[in-house]
Structure 1
């Protein structure tokens, strides 16, 4: 059984959860994504607890909840990308052109057929680097 969490850790988790739920306005898919990501972040054994980063992230989430500015759009896109990752339907399916449909007896393809192994495993590399740079620049703890 793991040792009990320090009160600072519990308080930080509750603050992030409360601010995050307010920011996503308790909407069902975003709410579930937010709680899952928050749990995963606090259960990560390699994670580092930074009080200042938590404070700034709570400020960021409160700002996203308060008005529909850049913070709101960033949080909305973070939730959307994570939801699409979990669904398994990403932009790469459309890029490869594997979805073939028939309309009125003729076969239509969206794109030219490409080799699926070219981008396999690297689809979200640029996205994750961008989030890491955002976290380093503003000293946040977004995932």
Structure 2
């Protein structure tokens, strides 16, 4: 894809995401960060391959459908953003926060005392989720993260 096409794709996807989440505060920033990360990985020759125009077009249709009514598309997008938000929050857990939780006996959202899932099992806690998103993208021809 040409540089101009990439810029247009980014803008259309971002606009569609904002409409789909109805400009809500936590979701709009998570969506923006996910979109930025996806385009930066593609530009830097990262793991993800550059999506084709058809996949971007179908993704924009998906986002438009999510924005129009609270159907299946809206629920899928909401859950994708919710998981991305929890993942990001989990990554930001610092050693100081873990020590405070352990000393006060507080348990985190997973029931563990401050330990991150990605550290406990070598990064495999989201393997099934990632495979499900990849299958959704493959069957519907989308480029969701």
Measured against aligned partners, the alpha-carbon deviations of 1:105-124 in whole angstroms (never above 9, x if no partner) come to xxxxxxxxxxx84x442110
Preserved CA contact (<8 Å) 1:135 1:141: yes
TM-score after normalising by structure 1: 0.76
Q: 2:128 is matched with which residue? A: 126
CA pair 139-50 structure 1, distance change in 2 beyond 3 A: same
Which has the larger share of strand? Answer: 1
Alignment partner of 1:29 is 2:26: yes
Unaligned runs of 5+ in 2: 94-107
Alignment partner of 1:82 is 2:99: no
Distance 2:20 2:75 in 1: 11
Q: 1:93 is matched with which residue? A: 110
Distance 1:49 1:87 in 2: 27
Preserved CA contact (<8 Å) 2:59 2:143: yes
TM-score after normalising by structure 2: 0.75
Measured against aligned partners, the alpha-carbon deviations of 1:13-42 in whole angstroms (never above 9, x if no partner) come to 110000010000111111001111111111
1:17 aligned to 1, 14, 17, which one? 14
Which has the larger share of helix? Answer: 2
In structure 1, the residue corresponding to 2:110 is in which secondary structure? helix
Q: CA deviation at 1:93?
A: 2.8
Runs of 4+ in 1 over 4 A off after TM superposition: none
In structure 1, the residue corresponding to 2:144 is in which secondary structure? coil
CA RMSD of aligned residues (A): 2.0
